[in-house]
Chains A and B, each alone.
Chain A
């Protein structure tokens, strides 16, 4: 794309992780519930029902705004967005139009050409709609369990320059939302959704080109593929001298294309007006400070701290701060490993190198694996290794057995007789046996071919199943072969 500049903005809808809905006490956990069992007069839009704001939803949205460097607005307005659709029981969606909760934030990502700061226009709160299932007989079935579930809409500035950057932005946003505990990050279940606005303009042109909105991208891969496709499509139209129409297109995952969607009738005419049933929401500094105080150390800060406090590489620091639980597990392991004389680097090597590989193989979460391999077990392995009680190969095996069985690594080593053979008498005996059994190699060695000793060392390592220290084996052999030395 050398002749056109690409401009992308993302709109992300994230379910706010509350127990109850935005304006009523029905459970917000709709994923596995039987249809229409989490509904009441308020979320069914029945006349006379009074919506009351869920305080935690507001606090979580404020926390999100703070984590995304936004300014939190004091005066808030909940508005009605009016349109007719069968998944919207009251004929309007409660949302924010003027005066959203959070404005003017940013998110730093690794861009195509180094660090990039993506601006955030706003974070506002709104309620989700119901779910439609299409029946065969030309009718649709509506389940309102999802109606009224709290959402945040997180809108970026058009600062994203490529599909790859869009993916990184969305991944980073997801990481932060999970990290601060306001969203599950579950895209398959729809707890996190993403729409994109894309436009192209010729290099050198100031004004943005016509904007196309793309919907229905349910994974990072889908987001990236849909944007690549759409950019190619628009570029082809422009190169052929055509014009891009401002429209909404849907991503078709199986066919790998975007296509124009039928627009909802009068969708531009939402007739927003202030929700008269909800008294004004005034967010004061006390509430903002309380939300700020509850915010955990954020991923970027923690990654930087891991690098300067523990001397980790950028890559290890990034791996170990991928999620908050992993970071906490690492820090607990650092303490345990340091107690036996190890370093934070040792802890990083075992977790980033071994443990994550093992978890990846079993496909489980660290939380589950941790019960079998607590930080103390990692420290035990480091301890045995530092004391020279086991070889590095044995250490890896003991680590893996501990991971699979939950047995203590020290016990594993003891029970299986994996401890290094450091008994010199035993090694001397073995050296004599091997020398007697391989006169040819001995002759070669004594004839001046120093490397012939490697073969003899190998025989002893084989006999001891790798449990001897190669250095000690060599010493024992040399003592027998060159008694005068």
Chain B
């Protein structure tokens, strides 16, 4: 398997996923399979192809610096599970 259990746990932590030991073991297999698949893709010779993160062929998509209307606040907050004083309420975050 290309991923260790520790690496899988690390990735889960970065993704804020709380996994049971069973789930973790299952993810280790599945993630490893995906990575193995990419190993296969890496065998293709791409030395003549420039790297890209794009598929649209667009360049310099820019807009003028104009202010447009924002969302009404109740709409902005509509999906917030908790709110107070017009703000999103989240679990305590202590300033570092």
Chain A interface (Cβ within 8 Å of chain B)? 18-20, 24-27, 34-41, 44, 52-58, 82, 84-86, 132-135, 138-144, 248, 250, 261-266, 269, 271, 273-276, 278-282
Contact = CB atoms under 8 A, between A and B. Distances in A.
Contacts of B26: none
Contacts, number: 138
Nearest to A263: B96
Given A86-B90, A142-B87, A280-B54, A25 B73 contact: no
A276 B55 CA distance: 9
20 contacts: A27-B70, A36-B86, A53-B61, A53-B62, A56-B65, A86-B90, A135-B84, A139-B82, A140-B89, A142-B87, A142-B89, A143-B87, A248-B96, A261-B96, A262-B96, A274-B53, A275-B53, A279-B58, A279-B61, A281-B59
Interface of B: 10, 13-14, 16, 53-54, 56, 58-71, 73, 76-77, 82, 84-96
Contacts of B68: 20, 24-26, 40
At the interface, is chain B mostly helix, strand, loop or mixed? loop
Contacts of B87: 35-36, 133, 141-143
Contacts of B67: 19-20, 25-27
Given A40-B76, A53-B60, A279-B61, 6 more contacts: A26-B67, A39-B71, A54-B63, A139-B82, A140-B91, A144-B88
A280 B60 CA distance: 6
Contacts of A261: 96
B34 to A, nearest CB: 16
Nearest to A249: B96
Contacts of B85: 35, 141
B64 A55 contact: yes
A36 B77 contact: yes
Contacts of A263: 96
A179 to B, nearest CB: 20
